[in-house]
Amino acid sequence: MSVMQALLIALFVAAVESRALGYATLTMRFSPLMAGFVVGLVLGNMPLAMTTVATIQLIYMGVVAPGGAMPSEPCIASAMAVSTVIVGNLEPEAAVAIAVPVGLLGSYLYQLRFFLNTFAITKMDACAVKADSKGLAFWIGFMPTLFSFVLFVPLMFVALYLGAPVVSGFMDTISNGPVLHVLSTVGGGLAALGIAITMHVIGNRKLLVFFFLAYFLQVITAQAGITMITWAIFGVIIALCYGMFTEKAAE
């Protein structure tokens, strides 16, 4: 990994964690697929990046962020794990063993971001008292973003440029041993946990029938080669029909 590649990925992570691009970056933070896409684009190996991040995405399917705080940071975990897999040409399953601890450390960095933002709060209050709109815009919009970039860019750059090759080499040495097998097995179970949590969140008894309908249709037509996009179109159509029928029933 070159200096420029590590810097570009670090800047992307900082932009996402700081919400510098508006509401879209909040969605990017919750979705590992976006981080994997950017890493694959920068490192020039999109197929391996997307195959790897698809495994990580399953872990975070059921993760929620009450108050904006998450138990693990998907963007940081994905950027580091996918980069390590591509640099070391590892198996995608190895990414899970990397993403879990890195995501946990990333959540502590995000909490530190909250702490740094407290220094801007006093300035916001002073500007509010003076009715200084320009000062409020500066301390609400610019300074918290600057704090995030100062925090995330250097740390992510060092972790990617110096850490990714080291972690990749270590993962390669244990690739045939029981350690990676245990980590991969445990990490694979996290995907099932994420799906279970998602079912619990949307577990309205009246709606669960659609979940099971989609599952068994996928199983039955597994050999038909139906793509995810086709299933998404069918899902939208069924959702629209359900909405129309329930509206008429309510009338």
Q: DSSP 3-state assignment of 162?
A: helix
Q: Is the pTM of this model over 0.75?
A: no
What mean pLDDT, rounded, does the chain reach?
76
Tokens representing 196 are: 């279970």
DSSP letter for each residue of 114-158: HHHHHHHHHHHHHHHHHT-HHHHHIIIIIHHHHHHHHHHHHHHHH
Q: What are 100-142's pLDDT values in tens digits? A: 777 778 777 877 887 887 887 778 777 777 877 788 788 777 8
Q: Residue 133 in contact with residue 168, Cβ under 8 Å?
A: no
Tokens representing 75 are: 């963007």
Residue 68 pLDDT exceeds 60: no
Q: What are 73-92's pLDDT values in tens digits? A: 888 888 888 888 888 777 77
| Per-residue pLDDT at 99 | 75
Q: Residue 9 in contact with residue 160, Cβ under 8 Å?
A: yes
Radius of gyration of the chain (CA): 21
Share of the chain above pLDDT 90, in %: 0
Instruction: Provide the pLDDT confidence category of residue 184 given band limits of 50, 70 and 90.
Output: low
Instruction: Provide the pLDDT confidence category of residue 95 given band limits of 50, 70 and 90.
Output: confident
CA distances from 84 to 91, 125, 144, 176, 183 (A): 10, 43, 29, 17, 16
Q: Residue 160 in contact with residue 39, Cβ under 8 Å?
A: no
Residue 51 pLDDT exceeds 80: yes
User: Phi and psi dihedrals of 20, rounded to 5?
Assistant: -70, -25
Q: Which residues contact 113 (CB under 8 A, 6 or more apart)?
A: 17, 18, 147, 148, 151, 152
| Per-residue pLDDT at 125 | 76
User: Phi and psi dihedrals of 72, rounded to 5?
Assistant: -150, 145
